[in-house]
Structure formats: structure tokens, C-alpha cells
Amino acid sequence: MPVAKPESSDSRVIAHVDMDCFYVQVEQRKQPQLRGLPTAVVQYNEWKGGALIAVSYEARKFGIKRSMRGEEAKEVCPQVQLVQVPVARGKADLSGYRNAGSEVVSILARRGRCERASIDEVYLDLTDAAEMMLADNPPQGMETIDEEALKSHILGLNNEDGSDVKENVRNWIHRHNADHRDKLLACGILIVAELRMQVLKETEFTCSAGIAHNKMLAKLASGMNKPAQQTVVPFSSVKGLLDTLPIRKMKQLGGKLGISLQMDMGVNTVGDLLQFPEEKLQERYGINTGTWLWNIARGISGEEVEGRLLPKSHGSGKTFPGPRALKTVPAVQHWLNQLCEELSERLCSDLDQNKRIAHTLTLHARAYKSSDSDSQKKFPSKSCPLRYGTAKIQEDAFNLFQAGLREYIGFYGGKTRGSHCRGWGITSLSVSASKIVPIPSGTCSIAKYFHGQSTSHFSSMQSSDNLNTEATLSLPSGSECYSEVNLSEPKIDFPKEESWIKDTVPDLDLQEQKDLSSTLSEKTQDGFIQEDISPLLLSGCLEQNRSKQQWDLSKDESQFKSEYKERKGKRLKDKGTYSIIELFKSYNPNPSGSFLSHEYNRTVGGTDVSSSSYSRDGEEGRREAWGYNIDEIDPSVMEELPPEIQDEIKAWMQPHEQRPNNMVKRSCTISHYFSPSKKS
């Protein structure tokens, strides 16, 4: 099945920008006296001087490598400056590096669509900016070309005849007879050089870049000349670049798929792939992977630069190698609490700053069983709907862990004696929050968001049957995942201890990753993972943030009211719209799932809510299992709702309102929607 070559992609201008020895640069900015010195950042654990996770280019000249430990680095270069990664909650605190990465992203995003690919990597689609430059001020006519642009490495440009390299670059940029693609790349050279200079000026960080017609080639090129340089791949040089490129160097081919290509197909360079017809590759590796391999052999990649400046998930993890393996449930709980605290903080700041909420909480672990023939068995990753608030996340993560552990050790296989395990150990733990979506801010938007809720409800997280099992992913330690199913090959080596890693799925080959992605979406559809989340689940965060006044409710209230007037008259009972009362009804603030229908009937003062209201929306199934405790509704929030919804709620609450003890102070705001319990 031949795939049409994406013609248009040939005339895109894509850049991949990668910070140089990033953590070192961040530390050097904090301590400018370290600039220019051989410097390395070491991991939190101090054993043998700690593992090196970032090495300055000055230190690399002495032979210091990331795989070394601090002591070894000192032997190689006694004057090396070792800086320990910041620590919080007994683990590495990467927030300073994340924030520094964000500073860079905000500058790069000024010239085109920008995708944050990792803590220190960004893709840019500069096509529009390049087209504009070509139309307004084409490089051919420019009298002066910036020095930084003249230092570019243009693949295929012959510099071996002793000619002045910068002069060659200048001539290449100035060519009048160049085709449109090369003219666009010439603009890309100028734009990226300017952006890199701007990054340096505003942040004091240097970065390197690759400029090409697609993401794959740009990424390949950015690592070719470091630090603080840029490399360009004209269309005419693609074949030459790929012909000799070792197959395992290609993004996504460093793992099992790359090994299989080498071992089973005798493919050593990307160019070697050209000998195989697409059908043959499809036969061996499946339709998608086969086509993908056929394409990359020709330098074809239609992958778009996603306009995304924020991570797609947040993760917090820690490894416990060797003797540090966790062997008791309380020890696991202690660390889970630390990880959840960090995760919760990051979720709250994401909500504050970006108005985004995460839907799914996932626990990953690695474990061993000492006395079991089945010791290869992976600890199953478990997911559940994410509830905001540190205590809730901690509680849910612990439940997920227990469910995973039960499955891992088998029903009879590994009963714990007291809090001590019999023969298992946890060597790494992480919690992650995914399915992060923006919510429109403000009262109006919140009301809209309520309307848009699906009829999903929340499963009990106590029962392991209701927990979602996902393929075991590797552990991000305080990581952010910037790409949903990240197919990129990790360029990092996995340290023997706590580490930050870039890729969520580092060991899977393309097919496995695709399988994983389809597994995840299937799970999502079957209801184990909830696609929609109730804003009520945000309660914890809003509680935490209330004092900060992050939600400017008063401002948005008037906006909401005027918008509401426009919509007045439209009833909100259209099929598919979901009024707040349905949301209340579907929300179960008790994770144990104890609000069953009979209890629900009781708490709403005997009103047969289930038959009247639920059947109206055809929610019979939901009614049987879930209910909302009417005591949880704060009547004062109704003032901020559309009148028809107010009526709806008042009708529901009438018997309730007659009980003065249940009345809540009128000073409450809409944020009380988010409060599942007045007691909390």
C-alpha cells in the first residue's frame, strides 16, 4: 500500500531547538562564578558523589560523561565543579529547570507555532514567518547577514576546498537561482539565528538548532553541531544524510524495532531501508510501522508541529534501587504521599496559571518478587479519575497501589504479614496526571462547563475491579510528558537511581507504542477511565487556592450575566446538554461509592428523584448506582447560575431548605460548587 508523499511538507520550515547542557546552564545562571568552568549537575543521591545528569561542554573536554558518578568525574578532572540538583521532599526538585524551559519557550513561540517537546526541547513551525520574509524582505537582497546566521552548518555545502565557510553560507543564502524550498530555508536560517540570539539575551542560555523541512530531519540536525550552533538540512542533502546514518540513531529506532531491523533485516543505516519495498516492511512490521519505515528511509515525515506550550501530563516519581527498595506498605505509602504532594502542587499551579484540569491519575511502579518463578511479571499500572486536593490524590494513589500490588503478588501468592511484605520490593514509584484539558475561566465558563458535562460518573476507587490497568510505563521522576504517546527514542541513559527521564514510553518500539496507545483509548472508551471529569473534583485545589483569589469570580460574573441574557429563553434541556443538577446527581464525593440509590433517595428528603429526573434523561443505569448527597449542595451558589437552572435546583432542594440547620452562609461563592463536603 504505497503512501502518497506529503508534497506540501517539502516546503515547510521546521526548527528543532535544543538547549545546551541545560541543567548546567540553569545552575550557572544561579552561580555565575561557575561560568566557563568544567561543571556538572549531580543527582540527589550522594553515593559515590552522585550520578552526573548534565555535563558542561568544558567538562566534556576532560572526558567527563553523563554515565559517571561525581567521584569518578573528580578523578578525571579534579577541578570539576559538581552542583547538586535541588531537593524537595526527599527527591530531586526540577521546578527551577521547568521554569527556565518555559522562559525559553515563551521567546521561541514569538515567531511561529511552537511545540514544547521536553523540558529543554522545542519544535517550531516557521513556515509562515519564512514566507512572509520571502515576500517582504527576501534574504537574496539583504546587504548584511547576521554573524550568527553565517555560522550555520548547511549540510551538503562544500567547505573542503579551503574557501571561507562563512562566505559559502552567505552565498548560499544570497542565491537568486535557488528553488523555493531553499529560499524558505534561507529565511529559516535567519529567523532561527535571531531567535537563538534573543534567547541568549533574555535568559543567558545558549541553545542549538536544526532547520529542515520536517520535524524528523530538524531533530536529527539539531544535535549535529553543539553547543550554540545551528545546522540546516536542504532537501538536496536529505539522501546523503540518511544513507550513512546508523539506524539506531534515528528517533524511535534506538530500541527493539531498531534491533530487529539490524538483526532480522540486516539494516544498519537508514539508507539500507531503501532496498525494501513498502509491502515487505508492512508484512514484517505491520501496516503502519512498515509505511513509517518506508517513509523515513526517504526523509518523509508529515508530522505536524503541534501548537502546544504546555505539557500533556505531569508526573512525579522516584526510584529505589538495590537495598533501598521499599519492602513495607507504610514505606510505600510514605513515598507515595511525597510524590502526590508534588503532583498536587503542580496540578494546582497548572490550574491557576493555565486554567487546565487533569482527568486521570495513574500509578506506575516497578517491583520484584524474590521467591517467585513468575518474577518477570510487571507491576500493573493503574488509573482512576483524578480528584483534586493533595489528600485525595494521596488516598487514590494508595488505593491504586494496593490494587496493583494485589494483582502483582497474586491472590494467594504474597500475603503480607502485618505491614511487612513477604518477598516483594518496590524499586520505583511514580504518579502521573494525564488527559489535561483547558477549562475556560470564570463563572460563565464554569456554568458552560457544567452544561457540557457528559453523563459519566465515577466508579468506586476502592474496588480493584474498577481500576484501570494500563501497560506499564516507565517512570517519570518529577517529569512532564509533552507528548501523548511519545514515540521519541530517549536520548538519555537511565541512571541507576532516581532520575528524570524524557520519554514516557522509553523501551517500547513503534508497534508496541501504537498498541499501547490503542489500549489506552480502548480503556478510555469502556468507561474505566472517565473521559469527563466533574469540576467538583477540583475542590481540593480550589480550597488550596481560595486565599490566592485565583478565580476572579466577580469580574467574570458580570460577563457571565450579560452572556446569559443573550441566551435567555433557550432551555437547556436539549438532548446532550447536561444541567448542573445532573452533575450534582452524578457526582459521588465519597470515593468508597457509598451513596447508592437508596441512600440518595433518603438524603433528598424522600423525593423519588431517581425516577423523575433521571428517567427524563434516560439515565436509568446511572441512577441505580450513583447518587448525590443533597447536603453537599450549597444553595448560595445558585445566584450565580442561569435562572432555569436555579429553578431546577430549588425544586430539588425545597424539602431541604425547610431545615434551617442545613442552610449555608450566603457569603459563599461559586467556588463552593467545588466543595464536596462542608466538613472538609
Please give the helix or strand (H or E) that residue 21 lies within, else none: none
- For residue 661 the three cell numbers come to 440547620
DSSP letter string over 346-413? HHHHHHHHH-EEEEEEEEEEEEEETT-TTTTPPPPEEEEE---SHHHHHHHHHHHHHHHHHHHH-TTT
Nearer to ligand DCP, 55 or 297 (CB): 55
Q: What is the DSSP letter of 89?
A: T
566 part of the active site: no
Please give the helix or strand (H or E) that residue 607 lies within, else none: none
Nearer to ligand DCP, 383 or 486 (CB): 486
Nearer to ligand DCP, 77 or 572 (CB): 77
As measured in angstroms, the least distance from the Cβ of 340 to ligand DCP is 21
- For residue 339 the three cell numbers come to 510524590
Give the residue nearest to ligand DCP (CB).
54
As measured in angstroms, the least distance from the Cβ of 18 to ligand DCP is 5
Q: Does residue 582 contact residue 450 with C-beta atoms inside 8 Å?
A: no
Q: How far apart are CA 467 and CA 464, in angstroms?
A: 5
Write the single-letter amino acid at 437: V
Q: Does residue 481 contact residue 312 with C-beta atoms inside 8 Å?
A: yes
**Tally of CB atoms within 10 A around 558:** 11
Nearer to ligand DCP, 458 or 500 (CB): 500
The two beta strands, 381-385 and 313-319, are: unpaired
Q: How far apart are CA 131 and CA 59, in angstroms?
A: 41
**Interface ranges with ligand DCP (CB under 6 A):** 18-23, 53-54, 119-120, 226-227, 491-493, 495, 499-500
As measured in angstroms, the least distance from the Cβ of 368 to ligand DCP is 22
As measured in angstroms, the least distance from the Cβ of 325 to ligand DCP is 20
As measured in angstroms, the least distance from the Cβ of 546 to ligand DCP is 35
Q: Which of 27, 58, 115, 121 is catalytic?
A: 121
Nearer to ligand DCP, 19 or 184 (CB): 19
As measured in angstroms, the least distance from the Cβ of 151 to ligand DCP is 17
Nearer to ligand DCP, 119 or 487 (CB): 119
Q: How far apart are CA 331 and CA 555, in angstroms?
A: 46
Using only C-alpha atoms, the chain has a radius of gyration, in whole angstroms, of 28
Please give the helix or strand (H or E) that residue 103 lies within, else none: helix 95-108
Nearer to ligand DCP, 28 or 289 (CB): 28
Residue 355 region by backbone torsions, left for phi larger than 0, else alpha for psi between -120 and 50, else beta = left
As measured in angstroms, the least distance from the Cβ of 549 to ligand DCP is 35
Residue bearing cell 423525593: 607
Phi, psi of 456 (to 5 degrees): -65, 155
Enumerate the active-site residues: 121
